[in-house]
Amino acid sequence: MTPLAPLLAQGAIKSDRLGLVFALFALLLPMLGLLADKAVVILVVATAVAGGLAAARTIGWGALPWRIVDRGLALALAAVAAWCLISSAWSFSPGSAAMLALRVAVLLAVLLYLVALAGLLTAAQRRRVAVALCAGFAVTLLLLIIELVFVTPIFDMLQGPEKHIYESLSRLNRGVSVLAILVWPLAALAWTAGRRLPALLAPPALLIPVLFSQSSASILGLATALPAALFAALGRPAARLVMAVAVIVTLFGSPFIASVAQQAGIARSTELQATAQARLHIWHVVTTRIAERPLFGWGFDASPNLPTDDFEPFREGGKVIPSHPHNGALQIMVETGLVGSLLVLALLVLVARRIDRLEGPPRACAVAMLVTVLGVAATGYGITQSHWLAVIGAAAAVFAAVRQDAAEG
């Protein structure tokens, strides 16, 4: 409950502008995530600014960010951002690393404020957001199916055709990840609205088109989240166990998994795609670098310039680590060391505690969304990629809006 709950209970926010802002946000988020992923950052910033102004018209100074944000999460995020800034001092390019750390810190602050604004929505406004989310998700899913069946005709019009089918379908990967994450607030909404069957069928049904995509990260994230949701639905202790295992395995198990895969020769298996082989090789190299500087790491944003002996067996003439290790946990450990990893662990524990406060199926869906995010992060994007951070924060804001809508009836 926010500090402004008494004001809200008295009907202080009567204007519908905040609801309209968030409804447009929920409508556009899935579609932009698929067709123009970089625009998600613009959408997030615009929604935070417009939403903040709309809230300020009705509650004045009470809508200021530091009055409504979750202070525990704010402190944890500030600690992570501060360590990233500090560790940029021993990175390969301290100046550019420091600037990146500041940009990430600003984006995280905007996302935290966005989630807080979602908590100010009235019941009527949240229902409008729920309708917008359903419409946006449905349209985006239809677009995805068209792109998969006819091999990206829309992307060909927007960006031009690719030479190979794999490259064409790979352009859908980021959008597929967005849908794999957003299906969980959609399922929570359906369940608490009394639509039990759609709530149960939506996530496994989405897995079908995801399996036909090139997004192995989304396949892993959604496939592991399905059993996680079922187990978490057994009760609060089960949900806590799922979150604990997911966080520990993802954050601290990645170096062990990379080492085992290398020793077992999995990276050389001809049954794996070249991209999978390349990632296993990257993870082995990064794991070796982690062992060399375990406490403080190599410095924030050091991944692309790590010593790799320039040996790339899977992409002739390419860098071993083009821009990031394709594993968020390994990137955190190699760049910020054990200190950074423990700070991120503290942040994830706080997130898990917020999820633990939810009741029943919404809690299970939130657990599944966390597992999906961790699964995608473990094989997909870099931790400093703005679009990826924006998607995570935006999904959290959407979940907060539609979950509260259901909870209030």
Read off the pLDDT band of 315 (50, 70, 90): low
pLDDT of 180 above 90: yes
**Residue 302 covered by a domain:** no
Domain, as residue range, for 221:
16-253+327-407
CA-to-CA dists, residue 255 to 7, 156, 282, 328, angstroms: 49, 39, 11, 11
Q: State the total domains in the chain.
A: 1
pLDDT (tens digit per residue) in 218-233: 999 999 999 999 999 9
| pTM, two decimal places | 0.91
What is the residue type of 46?
A
pLDDT of 304 above 80: yes
**Residue 354 covered by a domain:** yes
**Residue 392 covered by a domain:** yes
pLDDT of 8 above 50: no
Helix 254-263 and helix 328-356: axis angle, to 10°? 140
**Residue 296 covered by a domain:** no
pLDDT of residue 406: 40
**Residue 59 covered by a domain:** yes
Token pair listed for 125: 């406004």
**Residue 56 covered by a domain:** yes
Closest CA to 384 of 343, 324, 330, 342: 324
Read off the pLDDT band of 196 (50, 70, 90): very high
**Residue 131 covered by a domain:** yes
**Residue 1 covered by a domain:** no
